[in-house]
Amino acid sequence: MHCNLSLSVEQQIQNDLRKFWELEQTECLPGILSEEEIAYENHFKKHFKRNDNGAFVVKLSLKMDIDKLGSSLYEAKKRLLDLERRLNNNDAYEKLYSDFIDEYIQLGHMSKVSKSESDTYSDYYMSHHGVYREDAITTSLKVIFDASLPSCTGFSLNNILMIGPTTQQDLFSILVRFRQHSIVIAADCTKMYRSVLVAPEDRHLQKILWRFSDNEPIDTYQLNTLTYGTAPASFLAIRCLFEINNNVQTEYPDIVDIIKNDCYVDDSLIGADSVREARRVTELVLRY
């Protein structure tokens, strides 16, 4: 039996090296956007604005008529009562959850809705629950808002919302570039989603029920910022981050490169070839 190789050993080595360097220089090429993704990009550019404090204000975009939504109040209340029973059985869990909600209120990320404003037909109530891990090294509680809770018509908020296109590079490409640096830096954008405001006229779609004690009446709140758990939250938060590039591309091109090439949702994986350069890059990232 004879085995005839089409490539010499030297050629194979050259091909392997070429593929390796192509891998190191991987870039995420823009994909073909769907009609819905194009529509949401245009919707974002048409409707986003920045308030007096510089915060982004964005609108939610519907792909179905809002009349598809029925009432979700009953199911949201049922799930709140289930949550309360779990909280009442664990004092540490209950305190963490109450502290989370209180912080949300104190930061202005959610606000109580008066009775006269809380019964509009087109309102949507999200349920919420906690993922609690006592042995977690960092955050032991993560609160999840569920915008996939079906209303009485069977449709949820996420069913009728546009999602938006993927705007960031893939994680693999970012990690490959991260390996090239002599000095590496990992950064996190604190409360990234909650740094973006939802337009006031859309906040009725982000209502929740809550009370700090089961001896109190149940109150209605609306979430004023992008909410993790809603279908377009990731696109809108990242798209706002990319919009910063338009303001700094001339003065701070390094920031443009970082946002374009080294960010994955709220994490940045960047680096430099010297301590001096690393300090400069770190100062830029902290500024923006």
Task: Fill in the DSSP letter of residue 252.
Answer: -
CA nearest neighbour of 288 among 47, 59, 54, 57: 54
pLDDT at 256: 67
pLDDT digits (tens, 9 = 90+) for 110-166: 999 986 655 666 799 999 999 888 776 667 888 999 999 999 999 999 999 998 777
Strand locations in 224-262, DSSP E?
A: none
- β-partners of residue 225 are 197
Greatest mean pLDDT among 52-61, 186-195, 255-264 lies in 52-61
Domain topology for 32-168+193-244: HIV Type 1 Reverse Transcriptase; Chain A, domain 1 (3.10.10)
Tell me the DSSP string of 146-205. Answer: ETT---TTS--HHHHB------SPPHHHHHHHHTT-SEEEEEE-TTTGGGSEEPGGGGGG
Cα dist from 206 to 38, 53, 78, 203, whole Å:
24, 23, 17, 5
> Residue for token digits 């919009």?
243
Contact between 76 and 145 under an 8 Å Cβ cutoff? The reply is no
pLDDT band at 288 (very low <50, low <70, confident <90, very high): low
pLDDT band at 2 (very low <50, low <70, confident <90, very high): very low
Structure tokens at 225: 């910022």
pLDDT at 27: 40
Where are the chain's structural domains? 32-168+193-244
**Predicted structure pTM score:** 0.77
pLDDT at 38: 84
